[in-house]
Chain A
Amino acid sequence: MSRAAVRVPLRPLSRILAARRRGEDPAAIERENLRRRHEQMRDRTRRRAEGRLLALGALFVLAFFVVGLRMGMLAASDPQEPRASAGGGSAIIAQRADILDRNGRILATNLVTNALYAQPPLMVDKEAAARELARIFPDLDEADLLKKFTSGRKFIWLKRRISPEQQQLVHDIGDPGLLFGPREMRLYPNGRLAAHVLGGAGFGREGVHAAEIVGVAGVEKTFDAYLRDPARNGQPLQLSLDLTIQAAAERVLAGGMKLFGARGAAAVLMDVRSGEILALVSLPDFDPNSRPAPPVRGPAADSPLFNRALQGVYELGSVFKPLTIALALDSGLVRTDTMIDTGGPLRWGRFTIRDFRDYGDRLSVDKVVIKSSNIGTARIAQQIGAERLRGFFSRLGLLEPTPLELIEAPGARPLWPRKWSEISTMTVAYGHGIAVSPVHLAAAYATLVNGGTLVRPTLVRKEGPVAPGPRVLSPETSRRIAQILRRVVTEGTASLAEVPGYRVGGKTGTADKPKERGGGYYEDRVIATFASVFPVPDPRYVLVVTLDEPEDATGEEVRRTAGWTAVPVAAEMIRRIAPLLGLRPDVEQGAPDRLTLTSN
């Protein structure tokens, strides 16, 4: 009361005073004042509330409108299944870019075919249509078709891809309920060539008038988004492969595989500077035009889909020796003429390291590689030490999956001892106890002989000269190693690799295959590998050839070592592909010709 009384305005106060003077009761007037003020206040809040309620109403109506609109939009859009009357929904973009080899020859392209579907409500004579269709397509069953046509369904897919001849035959039935939807299909005109690189493609989202082609393996899958990107306007993807070289390599490798009765074979040809892979072969192969289903039984490695060059991680054996020796030379531990104790067998704990033959008590470092002494390499590895050897292999990328642009690459994880003990160091030094893929090995050799800079393997064509990677070895070591590799061919285990004019160098590796179920190694099954570089002294290319379980039974005893199996295959391959690479044979200059060159 007191507060209200204080705040009563003056004029009513004068009224109160006047009332007092008249002797009336001022309380009634005060009450009336209070009521009026209250009334005014209420009016004020009501007017404000009026505005706010209006805003609230507008807000609610707007919200309901948005929900309704969204409902309408949803109702107007198509549900996610094919409908005969197309339109609406997002358009399917069927433009998939071509894939070319490094010289612009087509590896993968598209072909327009048709898909056949039926709309039974439009059909005139269902019995006749079913009969004729069963005649044109032997895999369709007449009774089954008729059942589908009369089941009341409005839309039936009959065939996904049909040829122009089949289309004409269906046209000839003349039934208006049999309709065609254009389908682009992925075509690999070279058939099996580079099958593992290309992978394959299948249909993704499918509408009536178009279907999406999606990559299912290989570069088709790796570059799926890139190939389908509408912004790129169908610009082709150019790979580093060379179609002719790939073809020659496949031909030779297939011949070698057959000759030596191998279960499988792989070859990788790489440019030592850019890391571009010019040929990548894995046998047996498949036709990406009709990619077989993945195997459900048996080891995945036996499937033709398995890419031995990339996914096949094998213990590759003595081909690792030059890597170890390179590190020893580079770090100044030894020189090429340092004598190493190779007296054997070398016992370390419960392990025994033997050589293929007894090479005497001492060999110089270069001879360790040339003769391929396990004991000598193990002793050098001991000098190097576990940490350094592991660090070196890690720098070469031998302990991680390759960065190759194939969807399968990240899955191809090298196997190496997680607990890297001293004995691991000794065996890993000559390629046992570590399993890598031929692509890994090719990249490591490229780094070894290109002057010592790191190489990342790639399948995409590089434009112009490639900047060298980080330095791993000194150019001097690189040169020395190339020379040692050359001497392996001229005076060592790979004598069959001599290809006149191309000065091949390389290192053989023969590793016993581990048993699939564990428990040691097979006595009579090997992986034979030849890692070659040419032309020495300034190698431009690395070629790795691997044969799985080769046998040469032509001699008195069955020969399985790489020198007798992988090496001649690689030599033949180099003989065939070196001219295709544009290498000029370095034929020794004889006496100058007696001819007098004239021009007229």
Chain B
Amino acid sequence: MTEMVYGSVARGAGQPILPRWWRTIDRVSLLCVFLLFAIGLLLGLAASPPLAERNGLAPFHYYNRQVLFGTLAMLVLLAFTMMSPRLVRRLGVIGFAFGFVALALLPFFGTDYGKGAVRWYSLGFGSFQPSEFLKPGFVVTAAWLIAASQEINGPPGRIYSLVLALLTAGILVAQPDLGQAALFLFSWGLLYFVSGGAIAPLFGLLGAVVGAGLVAYRSYEHFARRIDGFLSGQVEPNTQIGYAINAIREGGFFGVGVGEGQVKWSLPDAHTDFIIAVAAEEYGLALVLLILLLFVIITLRALVRLMRERDPFIRLAGTGLIGMFATQALINAGVAVRLLPAKGMTLPFVSYGGSSIIATGIMMGMLLALTRSRPQGEIGDLLIGRRR
């Protein structure tokens, strides 16, 4: 009886894997992810040929790569969704360890591809950005530590995880990659918030980040220019933002038509950071709202599912993963409409990018693995009411 109520034994032996997977996976979210990927391919058809042309490659060079990497990412995603939470946790922690070492070794073995920040390993056929892969690993590790701290006699996991977050952020700031550093701190804050921590230290963290931002404003000319550009209130028509905004305006509600868009020819990052501008120009507000809606659905479904979750580790890890996912989407879209200062952040599953799409696949795979439906002891609630 106890076992039945508290769900320590969830399955009978010998249940076939695929039917059980199909029964417990969040099929709507999975569909949304596939839709996003399909939209990304559709937009890639429009956005990547100009880039290929600029780099002197076959017109669909980048598109083919996106199909390849995207398919790979979908397979990785599916593989991860089949894992048990325990396996996810183990892989996440191991991945974090590897990723952290890779990140720390970047200054010695990495390359900057002429962009001024050493963030990549060159693998010959493609590049590998450790910070992308570190994200899911970090979230899982931090969630594990914090969840452990909630056990009786558990370790002080909050402090440990904060130290990890600060270390990672410190390495990222040194690259410099201020945006990713802020994202890591933000995801830690999210975990802390959901784990039931007091609110006041969060404000302390926020203050520290703002202070660090001010220091960065003083010391990084690149960063200062972006912030100034954002604060000036005036959109320079010949900047990326200017092009993006004009493209959105040009597109109106239903777009200028497939292939008719102009912004992809003038924007160097049309296929990554400003993919949403391409979408807005060619297909109009309709497609943009659809993309946003898909993100909202994925986010909300995950959060609602996690509200019912009893296992603190699953709840925290899931929150961290979905939080990072949604934040990344929000930052990308927010930059394109100039609600946020310019920050290179890809739109998950939609933007082009080899390592980033696979990393996002891992992240989403882990999330869907964690949100698979499991018995949550609701019967207990129903039968005896909430214990106070």
Q: How far is the CB of A236 from chain B (nearest CB, A)?
A: 31
Chain A residues near B (Cβ < 8 Å): 3-4, 34, 37-43, 45-50, 52-54, 56-57, 60-61, 63-64, 66-68, 70-72, 74-80
Contact A46 B250 (CB under 8 A): no
- CB within 8 Å of A: which of B333-352? 333-334, 337-339
**Cα distance A438–B252 when bound, in Å?**
58
Provided the pairs A40-B387, A43-B387, A78-B249 are in contact, do residues A71 and B288 lie with their beta carbons within 8 angstroms? yes
Contact B152 A46 (CB under 8 A): no
A38: chain B residues at CB < 8 Å are 151-152
Q: List 24 A-B contacts (CB under 8 A).
A: A3-B153, A4-B152, A39-B6, A45-B196, A46-B310, A46-B315, A48-B196, A50-B307, A53-B303, A53-B307, A53-B315, A53-B319, A56-B190, A56-B319, A57-B304, A63-B330, A64-B333, A67-B333, A68-B292, A74-B245, A74-B248, A75-B251, A75-B252, A80-B246
Q: Which residue of A lies closest to B196 (CB)?
A: A48
Contact A64 B190 (CB under 8 A): no
Contact B312 A52 (CB under 8 A): no
Contact A49 B304 (CB under 8 A): no
- Interface membership of chain B positions 287-330, coded 1 if the CB is closer than 8 angstroms to chain A and 0 otherwise: 01100100110011001101101101001000100010010001
B248: chain A residues at CB < 8 Å are 71, 74-75
Contact B292 A64 (CB under 8 A): yes
A53: chain B residues at CB < 8 Å are 194, 303, 306-307, 315, 319
Q: How far is the CB of A327 from chain B (nearest CB, A)?
A: 49
**Cα distance A41–B252 when bound, in Å?**
53
Contact B337 A70 (CB under 8 A): yes
Contact B333 A52 (CB under 8 A): no
Contact A77 B312 (CB under 8 A): no
A3: chain B residues at CB < 8 Å are 153
Closest 9 CB pairs of A and B: A79-B249, A75-B285, A57-B303, A48-B196, A74-B248, A70-B337, A67-B333, A79-B250, A53-B307
**Cα distance A48–B197 when bound, in Å?**
10
Q: Which residue of B lies closest to A75 (CB)?
A: B285
Q: Is B261 an interface residue (CB 8 A)?
A: no
B288: chain A residues at CB < 8 Å are 68, 71, 75
- Which of B246, B334, B386 lies in contact with A79, CB distance below 8 A? B246
Provided the pairs A56-B190, A56-B323, A64-B296 are in contact, do residues A49 and B246 lie with their beta carbons within 8 angstroms? no
**Cα distance A4–B144 when bound, in Å?**
23
Contact B339 A70 (CB under 8 A): yes
**Cα distance A3–B339 when bound, in Å?**
52
Contact B280 A71 (CB under 8 A): yes
Contact A52 B194 (CB under 8 A): yes
Q: Is B237 an interface residue (CB 8 A)?
A: yes
**Cα distance A67–B285 when bound, in Å?**
12
Q: Is B284 an interface residue (CB 8 A)?
A: yes
**Cα distance A520–B20 when bound, in Å?**
100
Q: Which residue of A lies closest to B289 (CB)?
A: A68
- Interface membership of chain B positions 99-135, coded 1 if the CB is closer than 8 angstroms to chain A and 0 otherwise: 0000000000000000000000000000000000000
- Interface membership of chain B positions 168-212, coded 1 if the CB is closer than 8 angstroms to chain A and 0 otherwise: 000000000000000000000010011110000000000000000
Q: Is B150 an interface residue (CB 8 A)?
A: yes
Query: DSSP class of A's interface residues: helix, strand, loop or mixed?
Result: helix
**Cα distance A471–B195 when bound, in Å?**
76
**Cα distance A435–B246 when bound, in Å?**
51
**Cα distance A67–B312 when bound, in Å?**
32
Provided the pairs A46-B315, A56-B323, A60-B299 are in contact, do residues A41 and B150 lie with their beta carbons within 8 angstroms? yes
Provided the pairs A74-B248, A75-B251 are in contact, do residues A56 and B289 lie with their beta carbons within 8 angstroms? no
Q: Is B60 an interface residue (CB 8 A)?
A: no
Contact A37 B152 (CB under 8 A): yes
- CB within 8 Å of A: which of B147-174? 150-153
Provided the pairs A43-B386, A74-B337, A75-B280 are in contact, do residues A56 and B194 lie with their beta carbons within 8 angstroms? yes
**Cα distance A78–B315 when bound, in Å?**
45
Contact B193 A56 (CB under 8 A): yes
A47: chain B residues at CB < 8 Å are 386
B237: chain A residues at CB < 8 Å are 80
Contact B337 A67 (CB under 8 A): yes
- Which of A37, A60, A77, A78 lies in contact with B303, CB distance below 8 A? A60
**Cα distance A42–B150 when bound, in Å?**
8
Contact B326 A67 (CB under 8 A): no
**Cα distance A52–B246 when bound, in Å?**
38
Q: Which residue of B lies closest to A40 (CB)?
A: B387
A79: chain B residues at CB < 8 Å are 246, 249-250
Provided the pairs A61-B296, A64-B295 are in contact, do residues A75 and B253 lie with their beta carbons within 8 angstroms? yes
Q: How far is the CB of A162 from chain B (nearest CB, A)?
A: 30
A39: chain B residues at CB < 8 Å are 6
Q: Which residue of A lies closest to B308 (CB)?
A: A50
**Cα distance A75–B249 when bound, in Å?**
4
**Cα distance A519–B193 when bound, in Å?**
79
B6: chain A residues at CB < 8 Å are 39
A48: chain B residues at CB < 8 Å are 196
Most chain A CB inside 10 Å of its own CB: which residue of B196, B237, B312: B196
Q: How far is the CB of A349 from chain B (nearest CB, A)?
A: 51
Contact B296 A77 (CB under 8 A): no
Contact A77 B249 (CB under 8 A): yes
B326: chain A residues at CB < 8 Å are 60, 64
- Interface membership of chain B positions 213-233, coded 1 if the CB is closer than 8 angstroms to chain A and 0 otherwise: 000000000000000000000
Q: How far is the CB of B83 from chain A (nearest CB, A)?
A: 23
B195: chain A residues at CB < 8 Å are 45, 49
Q: Which residue of B lies closest to A79 (CB)?
A: B249
Q: How far is the CB of B136 from chain A (nearest CB, A)?
A: 18
**Cα distance A49–B304 when bound, in Å?**
11
**Cα distance A68–B295 when bound, in Å?**
12
Contact A71 B337 (CB under 8 A): yes
B312: chain A residues at CB < 8 Å are 42, 45-46, 49
**Cα distance A152–B80 when bound, in Å?**
54
Contact B150 A45 (CB under 8 A): yes
A68: chain B residues at CB < 8 Å are 288-289, 292
- Which of A43, A52, A67, A75 lies in contact with B292, CB distance below 8 A? A67
**Cα distance A463–B303 when bound, in Å?**
71
A80: chain B residues at CB < 8 Å are 237, 246, 249
- CB within 8 Å of A: which of B343-387? 386-387
**Cα distance A38–B153 when bound, in Å?**
11
**Cα distance A80–B236 when bound, in Å?**
12
